[in-house]
Chains A and B, each alone.
Chain A
């Protein structure tokens, strides 16, 4: 007797599975007609798993059908249910003829239960096929477990990230912004971190406790330059603004005006520089945008945060907060 190859048996299992499903899914067919196909499909599975045919009845449990290697492919809690259906499947061919005078035929499980049973069987056939392709059941189970874990970890991580939204944290930004209630930087300022000096308040106040007109603001940051470069700074503001680098005013536009651009090109030495922007708003619309260019081919754009370092929240107005950085 020639030993059939596994591929042929697997194809047979798939065909029986499909036939059983076709009959079970057909509302015009009695599910009992699917039993021989179902039994044959199980037989092929048993042959592939244990390399021998199962007993005529369903046996004590699934171990009569599946080897110890394949049994874990069916979760513990499902095994009993699967075996119960298998019992009904196996009894059917030995049922007495309907014209006989013996016990009534066994109850066939409901259609949804049979469909569910078919799915379990389908997973088994798939696992056996994968085994033929070189993936042992243990590896498959590990893969399944890994995927589930990854899905859970990913889901939980996504949920936590969305709940916390660290990218929306307010204590980020390389600029220390101090907002004063007067144009002359008098009074107690509102201090916060800003990502950029790029504001268009129109007629609104910059913070809740600062008026929308006649206020002042000062931003400080540490500009980290790795190598000497020709830089260009520009401020576009309504009203007055000035750029102060290492205590020296390099751009001065300290007047009342509508949006106006003012800028300057200067050489910057390598090292950490204290960059300060001062601004005042007189009346009506308020806006300020600070840009810089460190590449002569590129026009000024917002200063990238990677070359900025936060100077800290607390330091005297006349101090250089960047001293000692880096």
Chain B
């Protein structure tokens, strides 16, 4: 018990804390046992290179300036990337992708613990336990842990920052020094990954302003207001200065103009126009420049567990109602300020993105930082509900509430186990799961499934003709680029780009209908999860002769093909050697012809695919690139 938080220990608090620690330890163990299952994603290699450049910048005594101009990565701090470069040196003999996946997993685990802490700050030990359980059941967070080098580390810094911030608000006007230091470090680390961490600075400033104005108004005394303002302003300035220093350490580009450049990065990231693409959204093909306010609500509504969404909506209504109800109660002011800051932090980023007409794509990846906070907020509401249930019904109520929580979480854990290691493609039942979302929304936007699909291909070839396999070199190609495709392929596979005929197998994920290319070639293997196609491998050495050429569907109205089913293995992989693509479990295909894929040349297929595609769905104008990757994203 500290004088700032003289909270009475509840009868079961130690039990809740013990259970939370136990749950988190189990989650940590699971994460550490499974991190090698995850594939490489689009952005990883550039961030790996950026980390090396930052290290070279410091190692060369600021002589090596590559980090200052490196692609658009210089607009990001290297909080995770530089840490990754250092970690790789410690983690040898792990290769660089394995090492960064391990670090990412450890950081993700830190986020699980941070969410527990935030839940605990909001509603005590039971809310903390619920927050930990809920986040552990959130596929979209778990699926990004190993292989997202920016959104996930940012989310982790953000949730720790929010935890410290809300705790600090409770101690106004005298924030303990240790808490202020922790807050500064958390904000600094968040900003060192994405400058969007400046949101935390805004929340801190706003909370200080509201607190000072309110207490000044209460006292009706200018001098008292001045004293409060001075004390909290000094605290705030100290925290922001500390955070700024922490941020700058990792960010060479910003070092050359520590004030202007980070602010310039905020402006640039808010309206990121460097990367144009067409993407599926609500069953239509839209440009990422044209997304409207519905984009984030759709993705949050469909990619978060159903109960989290329900609790979040109810929680927002309850929270606003609570704020209005007790707005005039002086004694509730601090609680109101904490709740208000929480609600503001949950809604403001989206409203700001709508206001700035920010370019958005890749599902809710750019708003992944909201996920742990959102989950902690729902845990707070769930805790309040359970509290009332227990008060009303006693032990039976507690047992019932525990059972409901267990069932809800177990349902999500089961889904995650089925999707593993592609948890991030999760969609909830509101749209019919992943299967219902394929073609309607971005699923495997990060090309994470290539590793698994490639391994599936190798296994299939081995199973069919082991002697031929032992004495053959196979040539593969696909939209995923060399590193993602080759990651798990044995050495008798070579990556090829270029003209059709120079490769034997084509691996296509569902983004931009890559899986529909070469549809005149039989499907060798199909990677599925929950009956949804994620990646299709075709044997382009062989072609299926068609009697009639299917007509192209109109771009505006997807013409869903209803393929016959492919038996899928329990692991979600199926092999359909010799079957034409119509025999594969195709997704609802979505937009038949992405209009301007040429603009998205950075993650394109070999150039001649246009010539190769003679079916109704393939993009005809992809450019060629070796290991092509999309330009980086907006905050």
Binding site for B on A (CB under 8 A): 10-11, 14-15, 17-18, 20-21, 24-28, 115, 118-119, 121-123, 125-126, 129-130, 133, 162, 165, 167-168, 195, 198, 232, 234, 236, 259-265, 289, 291, 293, 296-301
Q: Interface code B319-360, partner A: CB below 8 Å = 1, 0 otherwise? A: 000000000000000000000000000000000000000000
Could you tell me the distance between the alpha carbons of A126 and B470 in the complex, rounded to whole angstroms? 69
- Cβ contact within 8 Å between B471 and A14: no
Q: Which 6 A-B pairs have the closest CB atoms?
A: A263-B470, A25-B174, A289-B491, A299-B462, A21-B3, A261-B492
Q: Which residues of A contact B219 (CB under 8 A)?
A: 28
B501 at the interface (CB under 8 A from A): no
- Cβ contact within 8 Å between A20 and B3: yes
- Cβ contact within 8 Å between B1 and A122: yes
Could you tell me the distance between the alpha carbons of A263 and B14 in the complex, rounded to whole angstroms? 60
- Cβ contact within 8 Å between B3 and A119: yes
Q: A21-B3, A122-B1, A125-B1 are in contact. List 5 more A-B contacts (CB 8 A).
A: A25-B173, A28-B221, A125-B6, A298-B462, A300-B462
- Cβ contact within 8 Å between A299 and B461: yes
Q: Which of A11, A115, A300 contacts B174 (CB 8 A)?
A: A115
- Cβ contact within 8 Å between B3 and A17: yes
Could you tell me the distance between the alpha carbons of A198 and B492 in the complex, rounded to whole angstroms? 12
B30 at the interface (CB under 8 A from A): no
- Cβ contact within 8 Å between A126 and B1: yes
Q: Which residues of B contact A126 (CB under 8 A)?
A: 1
B596 at the interface (CB under 8 A from A): no
Pairs across A and B, CB under 8 Å, 20 listed: A15-B6, A21-B3, A25-B171, A25-B174, A26-B174, A27-B228, A28-B221, A118-B3, A119-B3, A122-B2, A125-B1, A130-B9, A133-B14, A234-B492, A259-B494, A261-B470, A262-B471, A291-B490, A298-B459, A299-B462
**Chain A: minimal CB distance from B24 (Å):** 17
Evaluate whether A27 and B227 lie within 8 angstroms (CB atoms) in the complex, with A17-B6, A259-B473, A265-B467 already known. yes
B61 at the interface (CB under 8 A from A): no
- Cβ contact within 8 Å between B3 and A115: yes
Q: Which residue of chain A has its CB nearest to the CB of B171?
A: A25
Q: Which residue of chain A has its CB nearest to the CB of B488?
A: A301
- Cβ contact within 8 Å between B9 and A129: yes
B92 at the interface (CB under 8 A from A): yes
Max count, chain A CB within 10 A of own CB: residue among B2, B7, B467: B2
Q: Which residue of chain A has its CB nearest to the CB of B14?
A: A133
**CB within 8 Å of A: which B83-129 residues:** 90, 92-93
Q: Which residues of A contact B228 (CB under 8 A)?
A: 27-28
Binding site for A on B (CB under 8 A): 1-4, 6-9, 14, 90, 92-93, 171, 173-174, 176, 219, 221, 223-224, 227-228, 230-231, 458-459, 461-463, 466-467, 469-473, 490-492, 494
Evaluate whether A291 and B90 lie within 8 angstroms (CB atoms) in the complex, with A26-B173, A259-B473 already known. no
Evaluate whether A265 and B466 lie within 8 angstroms (CB atoms) in the complex, with A14-B1, A129-B9, A291-B491 already known. yes
Could you tell me the distance between the alpha carbons of A259 and B4 in the complex, rounded to whole angstroms? 68
Q: Which residues of B contact A236 (CB under 8 A)?
A: 473, 490-492
Q: Which residues of B contact A301 (CB under 8 A)?
A: 490
- Cβ contact within 8 Å between A264 and B470: yes
- Cβ contact within 8 Å between A299 and B459: yes
Q: Which residue of chain A has its CB nearest to the CB of B174?
A: A25
Q: Which of A11, A27, A130, A296 contacts B173 (CB 8 A)?
A: A27
**Chain B: minimal CB distance from A172 (Å):** 9
Q: Which residues of A contact B9 (CB under 8 A)?
A: 129-130, 133
Could you tell me the distance between the alpha carbons of A264 and B466 in the complex, rounded to whole angstroms? 9
Q: Which residues of A contact B174 (CB under 8 A)?
A: 24-27, 115
Q: Which residues of B contact A122 (CB under 8 A)?
A: 1-3, 6
- Cβ contact within 8 Å between A195 and B93: yes
Q: Which residues of B contact A261 (CB under 8 A)?
A: 470-473, 491-492
- Cβ contact within 8 Å between A21 and B492: no
Q: Which residue of chain B has its CB nearest to the CB of A251?
A: B470
Max count, chain A CB within 10 A of own CB: residue among B462, B463, B469, B491: B491
Q: Which of B1, B93, B223 contacts A17 (CB 8 A)?
A: B1
Q: Which residue of chain B has its CB nearest to the CB of A135?
A: B14
Could you tell me the distance between the alpha carbons of A115 and B92 in the complex, rounded to whole angstroms? 47
- Cβ contact within 8 Å between A232 and B227: no
Max count, chain B CB within 10 A of own CB: residue among A17, A18, A125, A261: A261
Q: Which residues of A contact B224 (CB under 8 A)?
A: 28
- Cβ contact within 8 Å between A168 and B92: yes
Q: Which residue of chain B has its CB nearest to the CB of A260?
A: B473
- Cβ contact within 8 Å between A162 and B473: no
**Chain A: minimal CB distance from B235 (Å):** 11
- Cβ contact within 8 Å between A14 and B8: yes
Q: Which residues of B contact A11 (CB under 8 A)?
A: 8
**Chain B: minimal CB distance from A156 (Å):** 17
Max count, chain B CB within 10 A of own CB: residue among A26, A27, A119, A259: A27
Could you tell me the distance between the alpha carbons of A289 and B486 in the complex, rounded to whole angstroms? 14
Could you tell me the distance between the alpha carbons of A195 and B223 in the complex, rounded to whole angstroms? 72
Q: Which residues of A contact B230 (CB under 8 A)?
A: 27
**Chain B: minimal CB distance from A53 (Å):** 22
- Cβ contact within 8 Å between B3 and A121: yes
Q: Which residues of A contact B223 (CB under 8 A)?
A: 28
**Chain A: minimal CB distance from B64 (Å):** 22
Could you tell me the distance between the alpha carbons of A26 and B92 in the complex, rounded to whole angstroms? 53
**Chain B: minimal CB distance from A239 (Å):** 14
**Chain B: minimal CB distance from A218 (Å):** 19
- Cβ contact within 8 Å between B470 and A300: yes
**Chain A: minimal CB distance from B578 (Å):** 19
**Chain B: minimal CB distance from A22 (Å):** 9
Q: Which residue of chain A has its CB nearest to the CB of B230?
A: A27
**Chain A: minimal CB distance from B34 (Å):** 19
- Cβ contact within 8 Å between A234 and B1: no
Q: Which residues of B contact A299 (CB under 8 A)?
A: 458-459, 461-462, 469, 490
Could you tell me the distance between the alpha carbons of A28 and B473 in the complex, rounded to whole angstroms? 80
Could you tell me the distance between the alpha carbons of A300 and B4 in the complex, rounded to whole angstroms? 62
Could you tell me the distance between the alpha carbons of A118 and B224 in the complex, rounded to whole angstroms? 24
Q: Which residue of chain A has its CB nearest to the CB of B469?
A: A299
Evaluate whether A162 and B90 lie within 8 angstroms (CB atoms) in the complex, with A264-B470, A265-B467, A299-B490 already known. yes
Q: Which residue of chain A has its CB nearest to the CB of B492?
A: A261
- Cβ contact within 8 Å between B466 and A18: no
Evaluate whether A27 and B231 lie within 8 angstroms (CB atoms) in the complex, with A119-B2, A261-B471, A261-B473 already known. yes
Q: Which residues of B contact A125 (CB under 8 A)?
A: 1, 6
Q: Which residues of A contact B6 (CB under 8 A)?
A: 14-15, 17-18, 21, 122, 125
Q: Which residue of chain A has its CB nearest to the CB of B472?
A: A261
Q: Which residue of chain B has its CB nearest to the CB of A26?
A: B173
Could you tell me the distance between the alpha carbons of A27 and B216 in the complex, rounded to whole angstroms? 12
Q: Which residues of B contact A18 (CB under 8 A)?
A: 3, 6
Could you tell me the distance between the alpha carbons of A41 and B133 in the complex, rounded to whole angstroms? 38
Evaluate whether A28 and B492 lie within 8 angstroms (CB atoms) in the complex, with A18-B6, A264-B470, A265-B466 already known. no
Could you tell me the distance between the alpha carbons of A325 and B73 in the complex, rounded to whole angstroms? 54
Q: Which residues of B contact A21 (CB under 8 A)?
A: 3-4, 6
Could you tell me the distance between the alpha carbons of A20 and B2 in the complex, rounded to whole angstroms? 12
Max count, chain A CB within 10 A of own CB: residue among B14, B173, B227, B466: B466
- Cβ contact within 8 Å between B93 and A129: no
**Chain B: minimal CB distance from A266 (Å):** 11
Q: Which residue of chain A has its CB nearest to the CB of B224?
A: A28
**Chain B: minimal CB distance from A50 (Å):** 20
Could you tell me the distance between the alpha carbons of A52 and B492 in the complex, rounded to whole angstroms? 84
**Chain A: minimal CB distance from B604 (Å):** 26
Q: Which residues of B contact A20 (CB under 8 A)?
A: 3
Could you tell me the distance between the alpha carbons of A10 and B6 in the complex, rounded to whole angstroms? 10
- Cβ contact within 8 Å between B470 and A234: yes
Q: Which residues of B contact A162 (CB under 8 A)?
A: 90
Could you tell me the distance between the alpha carbons of A24 and B171 in the complex, rounded to whole angstroms? 12
Could you tell me the distance between the alpha carbons of A130 and B219 in the complex, rounded to whole angstroms? 39
Could you tell me the distance between the alpha carbons of A161 and B466 in the complex, rounded to whole angstroms? 44
Q: Which residues of A contact B221 (CB under 8 A)?
A: 28
